[in-house]
Amino acid sequence: MTTSEGYLLLALPLIPLGSAILLMLIPSGERNAIKGVTGLASLAMFIISVYVFFAFDYRGDQFQGVIDWPWLQNAGFLGKDGIQLKVGLDGIAAPMVLLTGIVILSGTWVSWKIENRLKDFFVLLFVLVAGVYGTFVALDLFFWFLLYETAVLPMYLLIAVWGSGRREYGAMKLMMMLVAASILIFVAIFGIFTEAGLGTFDMPALFDAEYGRNFQLVMFPLVAIGCGTLAGIFPFHPWSPDGHAAAPTAVSMLHAGVLMKLGAFGIIRLGFQMLPEGAEFWAPALLTLGIIGALYGAVGALRQTDFKLMTGFSSVSHMGYVFVGLGTLNLIGMSGAVLQMFAHGVMTALFFLLIGALYDQSHDREFNHYSGMARRMPIWAIFFVIAGLASFGLPGLSGFIAELHIFIGAFRAYPLVGALAVLTAAITATYLLRMFAQTFFGEPSPRWSSVGEISWTERAGATVLAISIFALGLWPSPWIDRVAAGLEAGIPEVLL
Amino acid sequence: MGMEQVWLLPAIPAALFALLALFNRAMPRGGDGLAILGMLAVVVLALFVTLDFQSSFVDGKFAPGAEHVYAFEWARIGDSLLIEFSTYVDGITVLMLAVVSIVTLMVMLYSVGYMDGEPRYGWYFAVLSGFAAAMLMLVTSGNLLLLYLSWEAVGLASYLLIGFYWERQSAAEAAKKAFITTRIGDVGLLIGIILLWRGAGSFDIQEIIEVAHGGGFDNLYLTVSMLFLFAGAAGKSAQFPLHVWLPDAMEGPTPVSALIHAATMVVAGVYLVARMMPVFDEVLIARDVVLYIGLTTAAMGATMGLVTSDIKRVLAYSTVSQLGFMFVALGVGSVTAAMFHLFTHAFFKSLLFLGSGSVIHGTGAQMVEELGGLWRKLPATTLFFIVGSVALAGIVPLAGFWSKDEILVALQGGAPMPLFVILAATSLLTAIYTTRLVLLTFFGEPKDRHAYDHAHESPPPMLLPMLILAGLSVVAGFVAFEGVGKVLGFAGGVGNVVFTQGHKGHVFEFHPDVAIGATALGLAGIVIGFVYWWGRAERAERARSWAPELHDLLVQRYYMDHLYQVTIDKVILGLATVVARFDRLVINESGVDGTAQGIGFTGFRLKFLQTGRIPSYALAMALGVAVLAIVAFGRT
């Protein structure tokens, strides 16, 4: 990846930001213009994301396409480099950028049918996406945190205005928990800045800086809980089922698909890359919370009869795997964690897309109220089965390759945890197959005779996600090569 | 075309699966012709592979090297993890290729008649092709991870085909049960595979065997690993206590039962243990577990087969029991006997299933209480069914006799006497339930006039595959003979085909004592069957009243299904309820909402501080200044 391609990285947050501004200028009634702008913008983001993912040379430098402008320097407590507008891509962020491109493309398509304040919805959604992209490509800690918050805050309005069910409660709870968590990150970031004593927010410089051992031991839990809350780490996950249940389709997709990954990404960037001794000390705790979350989410999901609540618990379970992978402190397990972030992202986005497609027609999310839906909506059912099979780790689909790395890594570190992780996959199969048997199969219920097949935009969105599921499942090396290279270069020696 | 190109065998049906799954609606007859042509090509290619394999046979040994081919690297993390696609061809593989390709082709031909006019006809052939691809990949795979991949894929195909009539709630439930039960076994399999990788540093089967031979494993560690591995085999091959899914799997279309749940997928566990036998030989405790589980299953399956009314379920219990026979052979270390029985069983059991399909197709009934006297209406089916039954009962000279004889001989030489007696008794039971099934279905008075009157013989596309399989059921056992083996190119017969490099070969020997004993047992079983079920079956009724508790125990399938149901409902779902409530009440309402309420309450209290009265503020300020002054001056 050349330096000039770094401008593409810069374009990733700027396109949604610019589109959001452009959208504000369009009258609300011009639905076609809104669709045109958002469609083009999301397509551009998708194409650039795919391009930079493949353009990233995993044999090359750790950070590629690095470009920077000074923003604030030699002012007050800031030194020479101070705050810079700096972007770059490494092997850990590359699959995350790709994931964001995939999810926003399909998320945009399925949001076009929103009747209520379509323009305002997209303005907020695109601001959110700008924040997400920005966090993944930013190499300046000040901007990193600014964009991280930019990604989180629009969520409140998106759920409270366009949500369903207990939307005010869900939105408020989500916001409260995430803002409280952000305070911890805020403290950690300024602690890191001060302790490094370099007078700069430049992230590569901060990765290499020296931090005292005690400082690291104190700071790592702040990062782990602060970012972990967004990633749905047990027991800081309760915003997830309620938030997901209340959120509109595209927001659920982005939130479960991408935003939760932002949290895990934060733990890697701040926790593992800057505070390795803290990470080493706390890794067993992280791993323990991870495996508890994985089992807890899976067992809890067995009892859910609401599609979205089940998927919410399932997300807690799958994100638990990510922490197991990170906590193994070996390259295989940590690679598995990053792969799982991608795999869970596309899989859960597909789940929420399909649940939303059904809910928009039936306004009922209790899956016990359905039967024989494979007759009424065969295409919908096939996509759902693909997402489900990926979710419980069927070989050939995305989940397997990620979970396999986590299992192997866990067996290397703690065989018992590995065995429990494998067991969790069987529980996942149980709750999903129960839901399949109830919802898709059996005699079609006359109650839903008016419910028809999903629309073309929904099919297109689901196809993009399903292709991603198959791509990682069948041809995993582009992902694995980048992730392993990124971790090898980025994670300090003491950890691997 | 030779062993190097063996990857083509799974590749062809895999491509057809993709093609048919997406475009079957656009094709004439749902693309069934394409699927059959593809399978025919696979049979021909399998023949080429076999010929190539034979040509490497020199001086009683196969030239090593050619059988192991690395296709490509799938995923790699530096030096720490390597996952590659590789193929491996040896005697066991060749045998499995013959079984899988031939039975799949027969079943596809049969399905043209049997599934005619069904909805989702094209989808059916697509999934059959997909299954064949996965099964062929499973038996040609050179490493455990690729094997696991195809292992799960055949499980998925099985799920889709058991649930083929998904509008029936029972089919949906059966598919779910099959998948989850085998999945529980697969947890063990994956754990076992990762444990072996952890010890040997490779997923490659031959490398793992080498490390095991070289003493690279701790003995206890290896025992545990192999037991986990066997859990996967037991799940897939419906061994006690994971056998409960197979009878329910009969909800699928009958040709599927013949292919997947009799001849191919359910023997994957047998194949896996046979493939890993050199490692099992290192840990005899694990091998003993295989032996005892196999024996238990063989006996349980046969007894349950005695009292079942559903013709397909009888055959399912029979399959469970016969798979138990194969594991018994493996348990005493005789790969040859197990694989030989796998080979013959595939033909006669798929024949029996196709025969039962012909009965169901012709009458619309499948309970023996509704059948009877069908030999007049379905003469060809009756003949084929009897051929299969005699082979199953182990009567000389049909296929089942030779292979069952091998197992008994192996057991006689390698295990305590009581085990031999139990297995011999199970052989007797096999002959009895087989005779019962034949008599109740095809002879005696018709029990359901309506079904009988409308009964008709099946069309040629269904009879032809049955004819071929009947022929194989008669002659398949002869491959054991050295002479026949030589004609086919396998010097020394099946015994010398089925052995792995460095593993002890086996030459077929005819043991007159065991053979005469086994035949006598088979004949005795048939006689007992006639005594009880020939004619009006009063004796059978009386026998039932002698031991009603025993009869009930068998009809209730030893209460195993019941036990599982209670475990799932009470224990697992109970735990899930606890977790779900804990999450809502403790973590959410106390932890999160409680904190929020606490903060709200604190705020409510704190607001009284803001009184708006100047004197209170002045007082607070004065107090504050005083405190600051004390702190500041107190320090110096």
State residue A186's pLDDT score. Answer: 92
Least confident range of B181-195, B380-394, B562-576: B562-576
The first and second tokens of residue B468, run together, are: 């071929």
Residues of chain A found within 8 Å of residue B153, distances taken between Cβ atoms? 394-396
Pairing of the two strands B81-88 and B68-77: antiparallel
Per the model's pLDDT, the better-predicted residue between A170 and B136 turns out to be B136
Contact B78/A488, CB-based, under 8 Å? yes
Q: Is the pLDDT of residue B482 over 70?
A: no
Tens of pLDDT, residues B423-445: 989 999 999 999 988 988 888 88
pLDDT at B69 over 80: no
Residues of chain A numbered 135-174 and touching chain B (CB < 8 Å): 173
Contact B255, B357 (CB under 8 A): yes
Say if the Cβ atoms of A437 and B180 lie within 8 Å.
no
pLDDT mean across residues, chain A:
90
Question: Where does B308-374 have alpha helices with state H?
Answer: 311-331, 335-363
B178 is written with which tokens?
């099959």
Q: Identify each DSSP E strand in A73-231 by its residue range.
A: 83-89
Residue of chain B whose Cα is closest to the Cα of A445: B167
Residues of B whose CB is below 8 A from A437? 172-173, 175-176
What are the beta bridge partners of residue B70?
B86
- pLDDT value at residue B503: 47
What pLDDT is attached to residue B500? Answer: 43
For residue B303, how far is the Cα from the chain centroid?
20
CA dist., res. B225 & res. B243, Å (int): 22
A288 vs B81, more confident: A288
pLDDT of residue B599: 73
Taking the Cβ of residue A59 and every Cβ of chain B, the question of whether any pair is shorter than 8 Å is answered with no
Distance separating alpha carbons of residues B251 and B165, to the nearest angstrom: 8
DSSP tag of A305 = -
Tens digits of per-residue pLDDT, B338-382? Answer: 888 998 999 999 999 999 999 988 888 888 888 878 888 888 889
Partner-chain contact A396 B153, CB within 8 Å: yes
Cα of A407 to nearest chain B Cα, Å: 8
| Residue B302 near residue B321 (C-beta atoms within 8 A) | yes
Give the largest Cα separation in chain B, rounded: 118
| Angle between helix B91-114 and B268-275 (nearest 10) | 170
> Scanning every residue of chain A, which has its alpha carbon at the shortest distance from the alpha carbon of B147?
A395
At a CB cut-off of 8 Å and minimum separation 6, what does A407 contact?
A: A336, A418, A421, A422, B190, B194
Q: Which residue has the higher pLDDT, B581 or A182?
A: A182
Integer Cα distance of B611 and B559 in angstroms:
74
pLDDT exceeds 50 at position A104: yes
Shortest Cα distance, chain B CAs vs residue A332, angstroms: 7
B66 has a pLDDT exceeding 60: no
Q: Is the pLDDT of residue B530 over 50?
A: yes
- Residue A306: pLDDT band (50, 70, 90) is confident
- Extents of the domains making up chain A: 6-495
Residue A335, chain B, CB below 8 Å: the answer is: yes
Torsion of CA B203, B204, B210, B211, to 10 degrees: -20
Question: What is the ipTM, given to two decimal places?
Answer: 0.91
Answer whether A238 sits within 8 Å of B591, measured CB to CB: yes
Query: CB-based contact (8 Å) between A385 and chain B?
Result: no
d(CA B430, nearest CA chain A) in Å: 35
**Token pair listed for B30:** 């749902």
- Whether chain B has a CB inside 8 Å of the CB on A331: the answer is yes
Show the CA angle centred on residue B281, arms to residues B276 and B286, nearest 5°.
85
For the ranges A180-194, A405-419, A456-470, B396-410, the lowest mean pLDDT is seen at B396-410
Dist. CA B520–CA A332, nearest whole Å: 59
Helices (H) then strands (E): counts for chain A: 22, 2
Six-digit token string for A352: 């929420």
Answer yes or no: is pLDDT of B629 > 90: no
CB contact under 8 A, B583 and A476: no
For chain B, the first-to-last Cα distance in angstroms comes to 97
pLDDT tens, residue by residue, A118-156: 889 999 999 999 999 999 999 999 999 999 999 988 888
Q: How confident is the model at residue B60 (pLDDT cuts 50, 70, 90)?
A: low
Pairwise CB contact (< 8 Å): B583 & A436: no
Chain A residues within an 8 Å CB radius of B580: 300, 303-304
Q: Give the residue, A398 or B478, on which the prediction is more confident.
A: A398
Structure tokens at A470: 């198959």
Query: Quick one: pLDDT at residue A327?
Result: 93
**Least CB–CB distance from A395: residue in B75, B152, B169:** B152
Beta bridge partners of B81: B77
**Torsion, Cα of B310, B312, B314, B319 (10° steps):** -160
**Nearest residue of B to residue A394, measured between CA atoms:** B152
How far apart, in whole angstroms, are the C-alpha atoms of residue B41 and residue B97?
Answer: 13
Q: What is the mean pLDDT of chain B?
A: 84
What is the per-residue pLDDT for A49?
95
HSE on the CB side for B476, CA within 13 Å?
A: 32
Average pLDDT rounded to a whole number, residues B29-57: 84
Angle at B289 between CA B284 and CA B292, to 5 degrees: 125
Residue of A nearest to B146 (CA): A395
CB contacts of A440 in chain B (<8 Å) are: 166, 172
Write the pLDDT tens digit of every residue in A255-268.
889 999 999 999 99
User: Considering CB atoms only, which of B76, B167, B190 is closest to A422?
Assistant: B190
What is the mean pLDDT of the segment spanning B620-625? 80
* Of A411, A434, A480, Cβ closest to residue B77: A480
- Span of A193-197, B158-162, B262-266, B477-481 with lowest mean pLDDT: B477-481
Summarize pLDDT for B152-199 with one digit per residue, the tens: 999 999 999 998 888 888 888 899 989 988 988 999 999 999 999 998
pLDDT of res. A160: 87
pLDDT for position B5: 80
A400-421 pLDDT per residue, tens:
999 999 999 999 989 999 999 9
pLDDT, position B502: 42
Q: Compute the count of residue pairs across chains A and B with CB atoms less than 8 Å apart.
A: 134
Q: What pLDDT does B366 receive?
A: 85
- Give the three-class secondary structure for B70: strand
Cα distance between residue A436 and residue B179, in whole Å: 12
- Please report the pLDDT score of residue B501 as a whole number: 41
Cα(A422)–Cα(B180) distance, integer angstroms: 14
Q: Are strands B61-62 and B57-58 parallel, antiparallel or unpaired?
A: antiparallel
Task: Kindly tell me if the per-residue pLDDT of B78 is higher than 80.
Answer: no
Distance, CA of B132 to CA of B41 (rounded, Å) = 12
Q: Residues with Cβ < 8 Å from A473, sequence gap 6 or more?
A: A390, A395, A396, A397, A398, A399, A400, A401
Question: Among A288-302, A402-416, B255-269, B577-591, where is mean pLDDT lowest?
Answer: B577-591
Both tokens of residue B576?
Answer: 């899930």
Among the partner residues B80, B180, B575, nearest to A332 by beta-carbon distance: B80
* pLDDT-derived band at B496, boundaries 50, 70, 90: low
Report the candidate in A327, A325, A295 with the shortest Cα–Cα distance to residue A313.
A295
Across residues A389-405, what is the average pLDDT?
91
Q: Is residue B129 predicted with pLDDT exceeding 90?
A: yes
> Is residue B55 within 8 Å of residue B29, measured between CB atoms?
no
Percentage of chain A exceeding pLDDT 90: 53
Separation of CA B220 from chain center: 28
- Least confident range of A281-285, B208-212, B532-536: B532-536
Torsion over CA: A119, A120, A123, A125 (sign): negative
- The stretch A94-109 carries a mean pLDDT of 94
A368 touches chain B (CB under 8 A): no
DSSP B374: G
Question: Closest-CA residue in chain A for B183?
Answer: A426
User: What confidence tens digit (pLDDT) does each residue in A16-27 have?
Assistant: 999 999 999 988
pTM of the model: 0.89
Q: Which of A183, A296, A299 best probes binding to B when mutated, by most B CB atoms within 10 angstroms?
A: A299
